Structure formats: structure tokens, C-alpha cells
Amino acid sequence: METVWDVIIIGGGPAGLTAGIYTARHGLKTILLEGSQIGGRAYEAHWIENYPGFPDGIDGHTLMELFKRQASKFGVEYLRETVIGLSDMGEIKMVSTRNGYHQAKAIIIATGVQRKQLSVPGEEKLKGRGVSYCAICDGPFFKDKTVAVIGSGHEAIEDALHLADTARKVYAIPGLKGYVKIQTLDEIKRNPKIQIIEATEITGIKGDEYVTGITIKGTIESELSVDGVFILLEHVSTNIILNDAGITLDNGGCIIVDKQQQTNLSGIFAAGDCTCSSWQVVTATGEGGKAGLATLRYVKGLK
């Protein structure tokens, strides 16, 4: 007879682990599926200064190991499997993976958002050491320093303005196609701290221990001295899987949820970066807690 879990959590970042702490602690049989690293993008964070309870800061690896240990303590089980499909069959939900399938009474989607990378020399080596994918998260580390913001969309424009509040200088580099036409584009053109460099592409990120510069190529190749590089390209999402399941997304591919983290499908919840409500560990954990409690109420209601 196939095991029917009370809840399947898809994604092992801060939201998924927190949801598991809540569901397992209250007695729900909980399994967490993660195709790569437990801890998500937070696991890679070089240093986190704004998570409550750690006034001196903590590295992402250590913080996520504490999350995992706490979830394990309450009985969350883990499987390293990549999800390839979801099906809502009423009171039973099915999650398909590359290894088979799992059934549950409820699902919590906490897949996060995988940023598209530049895939240039130096990017992988210097992640968390000057290379960042979140200005809100890491901007305070670059007060009175020089940074580059790579990207042409709304988020890149907003983050260039955000960084200009504290950085000494911001290079805004949209790439060969240029910026999308939105209202706030005029604001970065007027900001004296922001220098837009158009018709160029990034060919490399320089630095040994930390970022020291970038190479750009337009009509000629040149190098800029910077202390940080913020890469804000479009998201790589799980839209195809979610659309096939009938889950409603907004125009940006974010999962739409209500105040209880419920999607448009009964018994399927979502939390964390996949809802695009914020890009912070603390807000992801908050949503994970809400989703866990809402799932508890839902499953108990079935009984």
C-alpha cells in the first residue's frame, strides 16, 4: 500500500524548513523534497546580519544547518528528489519526481526562485564575496562603496535606486538590449550617483578573495573597479509545472496566495520567495510558519 503523507513540502530553504517545523511538531507526517542543497540560496549567504536573535550576524550555512536540525528534531523526513509534476486529485495530492511519485493530503510549495546567472568567469568563485543577487539583502555591506547593477528589468532599476541611497557610486548596466521602458527609469537617469553604461555586456568579474572589478565589452573591452556586483536578471521558475497543475501565477511568474498562504487550489499552499513577497530569510520563515499552521488546520479538517 502506498504511503499517504499528511504533507509534502517542496523546497528546503528557510520557508520550507520552517513550515516543516510547524507541521511535524503538531504531529503531521511530513516529508520534504529538495533536489539540491537543503537551505536553498540562504545556505550560500556569506554573512547574514539582519536575522533576529543573532546580533553579531551568522553565516548562511550555519543558520540553515540549525533550521534543518530543528526540523529533524520534530520528525521531518528528507528526500533528495527533483519534482517534475503536481496533480490535485481532491483530498489526495500527487507529487511526481524523477524517482517516482509521492501522495499527500496537502502540499506546501517553497521552491524559492532560482536567479539566472551571468555565467561569466569569476561569478561562481565570488558568490557571497561581492557577487550578490539581492540588493535588499546585501546592500548594507556596500555603504560608501562602488557597485555595479546588472540587469534591464524593473527589479534592476529599483535596486539601482535602492543602492544609490548608501553606495558611493552605482554603475547601472542593462546589457546590449537596454532597459525596459518604465516610469522609474527616469529616476536613475536623474540620480547623480548612478552612471548608466549602455550597449555593453559583462565578460568577467575580477577578484581573488573579494570582488575588485568587472570587465565589460562594448565597442572596446574595458575594466571598471567595483566592490560589489548585483546580478538581477530574470528568474528561472517552475512555471511549467505550476501551470500544468492549475496553480494561478501573476504576470511575473509568482504564485498568488491569500493571507493564509493558500493558493487557488484547496490544500495546496505556497511560501517564501516563490510568492515574490520579499527576498529575506525572516519573511520566508514567517510565510513558512503561516503555511504550516494553515496546512495543519486543513489536514485536521479532513479528519
Q: Comparing 46-50, 78-82, 128-132, 227-231, which segment has the lowest mean pLDDT?
A: 46-50
DSSP 110: -
* Mean pLDDT value of segment 137-158: 89
* Mean pLDDT value of segment 291-300: 97
From the options 3.50.50.60, 3.40.50.620, 3.30.465.10, 3.40.50.2300, give the CATH code of 117-231: 3.50.50.60
Please state, in angstroms and as integers, the Cα–Cα distance from residue 219 to each residue in 1, 14, 177, 201, 242, following that order.
66, 44, 15, 10, 42
pLDDT band at 215 (very low <50, low <70, confident <90, very high): very high
- Other beta carbons within 10 Å of 210: 13
User: Which residues make up the CATH 3.50.50.60 domain(s) of the chain?
Assistant: 4-114+235-302, 117-231
pLDDT value of position 68: 96
pLDDT band at 43 (very low <50, low <70, confident <90, very high): confident
* Mean pLDDT value of segment 116-132: 89
* Mean pLDDT value of segment 206-219: 92
Residue 187 backbone phi and psi in degrees, to 5: -65, -40
Whether the per-residue pLDDT at 39 is higher than 70: the answer is: yes
Whether the per-residue pLDDT at 136 is higher than 60: the answer is: yes
Predicted confidence (pLDDT) per residue in 224-279, tens digit? 999 999 998 876 556 778 888 889 998 878 899 999 999 999 999 999 989 987 77
Whether the per-residue pLDDT at 1 is higher than 60: the answer is: no
Contact yes or no for 164/170 (Cβ under 8 A): yes
* Mean pLDDT value of segment 38-66: 89
Predicted confidence (pLDDT) per residue in 69-80, tens digit? 999 999 999 999
Predicted confidence (pLDDT) per residue in 163-175, tens digit? 999 999 999 999 8
* Mean pLDDT value of segment 55-62: 92
Cell reading at 139: 546592500
Alpha helices in the chain (DSSP H): 14-25, 60-73, 135-138, 154-164, 185-190, 239-245, 281-302
Whether the per-residue pLDDT at 91 is higher than 60: the answer is: yes
pLDDT band at 5 (very low <50, low <70, confident <90, very high): very high
CA angle 257, 258, 259 (to 5 degrees): 125
Q: Domain 4-114+235-302 is classified in which CATH homologous superfamily?
A: FAD/NAD(P)-binding domain (3.50.50.60)
Whether the per-residue pLDDT at 183 is higher than 70: the answer is: no
Contact yes or no for 2/26 (Cβ under 8 A): no
pLDDT value of position 17: 97
Whether the per-residue pLDDT at 195 is higher than 60: the answer is: yes
* pLDDT above 70 coverage of the chain, percent: 96
Coil, helix or strand at residue 172:
strand
For the chain, the average pLDDT equals: 90
pLDDT value of position 153: 82
pLDDT band at 40 (very low <50, low <70, confident <90, very high): confident
